[in-house]
Amino acid sequence: MSNIIDGKAIAAEIRSEVEVSVSSLTRDTGIVPGLAVVLVGDNPASQVYVRNKQKSASDIGMNPMDIKFHQDVDIAIIEAKLDQLNEDESVHGILVQLPLPGHLDEKSIIRRINPMKDVDGLHPENVGLLLAGIPRFVPATPAGIQELLIRTNNNPSGQHVVVCGRSDIVGKPISALLLQKDKSANATVTICHTGTKDMGAITRQADILIAAVGIPELITSDMVSDGVVVIDVGINRKPDSSKKTGYKLVGDVEYIGVSEKASAITPVPGGVGPMTIAMLLYNTMKAAKLTSE
Ligand code: GUN
C-alpha cells in the first residue's frame, strides 16, 4: 500500500509562504500583486478553476481581476483587452484560462501577453528560457509537480522519470524542468505519447511516473512496477449516478490498482490540482517583485 501524497496540505504550506512574501512586498513598496484571469465561454470546469484561482489570490492579499468574454467573442476583442492589461501597472500577472473555444487561436493569444506578465509560463519567450536553463516563469502545474516530489523526499535527481503526455501545459515543460542540471531535477526523462508503440513497456521502467494524458484511468496496474512514485495530473469527469452531480473525478491513473504497487501516489482530487494554484500565486508574486526591482 502506498503513501498518499497530500497535495492539499503541501499547497497550503506554499500559499502561506507566498502570503508572507506578499505582505512584506506590500509593506515595503506599497505594491499589491494584481492577477488578471481571462475566461472565455462557459466551460463548467474552467469556471470552477478560475473561481478557485481568484479566491486563492484574494485570500493571500493579492488583487484578482476577473475578465470574462462570451463564447463567440472575436479574437480582436481579446487582443485589445490583453494590450490594455499589458500596459496596466496594477496588473502583474495575466492568465488566459485554457482551453479556449475552437475558433480562437490559443498560440497567437498567448503570444499577445507581455512575457514579463505571463505567469502561466506559456509564452514562447518563457518556454525558451526554461529550455535554456534560465527559467523566469515555470508553468504552474510542472512547478507544482517538482515541489511535490521534493517536499515528499522523492527528489527526481538520478531517477528515471517517465512522462505520459506531450502537452504544452504539462508534458513538454515538466520534461524540460526535470532534465535540467540542477539538484532538484537532474532526472533521466522519457516522454510517451500517442505515437508511442508499447507504452506499458516504457512506463514499467519508471522510478517516477507522471501521467498527463487527459484519458481517464489510462494507466493501469500492469503498466507500473513495484515502488514507483506516481504523479497523476488528470482531472476527468466520470459518470456516476450515485453522486449528486452525476459524475465523480478520476485521474489518468487507475488509482486503486496502481496504489497497490506504488510507494507514493497523488490522489485525484487533492493531489496536483491544488499545487497548480499555489504555484500560480508564487509566479504572480515573482512577477510583482520583478517590477519593483
Ligand atoms: N487549463 C488547465 N490548466 C491550466 C493552466 O495551468 N493554465 C491555464 N491558463 N489554463 C489551464
In a domain, 288, yes or no: no
In this structure, the answer to whether residues 90 and 179 fall within a common structural domain is no
Predicted pLDDT of residue 223: 98
Q: Where in the sequence is the domain holding 235, given as residue range(s)?
A: 140-271
Task: Dump pLDDT digits (tens) for 197-246.
Answer: 999 999 999 999 999 999 999 999 999 999 999 999 999 999 999 999 99
Q: Are 182 and 239 in the same domain?
A: yes
> Do 157 and 108 fall into the same domain?
no
Same domain, 253 and 164: yes
Confirm whether 292 is domain-assigned: no
Pocket test residue of 276, 280, 281 for ligand 1, highest count of atoms within 8 A of CB: 276
Residues 113 and 154 in one domain: no
- Among protein residues, the one whose CA lies closest to atom 8 of ligand 1: 97
Residues 87, 204 within the same domain: no
3-state secondary structure the chain: CCEECCHHHHHHHHHHHHHHHHHHHHHHHCCCCEEEEEEECCCHHHHHHHHHHHHHHHHCCCEEEEEEECCCCCHHHHHHHHHHHHHCCCCCEEEECCCCCCCCCHHHHHHHCCHHHECCCCCHHHHHHHHCCCCCCCCHHHHHHHHHHHHCCCCCCCCEEEEECCCCCCHHHHHHHHCCCCCCCCCEEEEECCCCCCHHHHHCCCCEEEECCCCCCCECHHHCCCCCEEEECCCEEEECCCCCCCEEEECCECHHHHHHHCCEECCCCCCHHHHHHHHHHHHHHHHHHHHHC
Q: Is 53 a catalytic residue?
A: yes
Q: Pick the catalytic residue: 53, 172, 261, 286?
A: 53
Pair 149, 224 in one domain: yes
Give the pLDDT of residue 272.
Answer: 98
Is the residue at 23 inside a domain?
no
Tell me what pLDDT residue 2 has. 80
What is the pLDDT at residue 268?
98
Q: Are residues 111 and 212 in the same domain?
A: no
Does the pTM surpass 0.75? The reply is yes
Of ligand 1's atoms, which has the minimum distance to the CA of residue 139? 6
Task: Flag whether 132 is in a domain.
Answer: no
Do 152 and 265 lie in one domain? The reply is yes
Kindly state whether residues 181 and 267 are assigned to the same domain. yes
- The total number of structural domains in the chain stands at 2
| 265 and 189 housed in the same domain | yes
**Residues in the chain where the model's pLDDT stays below 70:** 1
Question: What pLDDT, on the 0 to 100 scale, is given for residue 292?
Answer: 85
